[in-house]
Amino acid sequence: MQHSRGQGHQTFGLCVIAGNISPIDVITHVPVLCEEADIPYIYVPSKEDLATAGATKRPTCCVLVLTKPTKGELDPAEQEKMKVEYSQIVADISELTSSLF
């Protein structure tokens, strides 16, 4: 959920990983990195669908969705809205994954 980057700066994000990557070795390290950085992750069935959702034509193996832009700033109201939506998405993913085990 949080990833530290120098001087105490924290970025929140969600990693979305395509499940149909071949060879699978290309992405097997990603969940481990996410767990070490306490970043939630979820698999989706298709790299093509992930690319479409990311507005690119190239098949994509994983995407890190950030709640804060890498450049510039959001106004406080928009930032708060993103935090609330992010928290809900993470809760939904946690519920979904816990029901699988």
Instruction: Report pLDDT digits (tens) over 29-78.
Output: 999 999 999 888 999 999 999 999 888 888 899 999 887 777 777 888 88
> Which residue has better confidence, 9 or 42?
42
pTM listed for this prediction: 0.73
Q: Is the pLDDT of residue 14 over 50?
A: yes
> Strands 62-66 and 9-18, how do they pair?
antiparallel
State phi, psi for 65 to the nearest 5 degrees: -90, 120
The residues near 52 (Cβ < 8 Å, ≥ 6 apart) are none
Q: For residue 1, which amino acid is it?
A: M
What's the burial of 66, exposed, middle or buried (CB within 10 Å: 0-12/13-18/19+)?
middle
CATH top-level class for 2-100? alpha beta
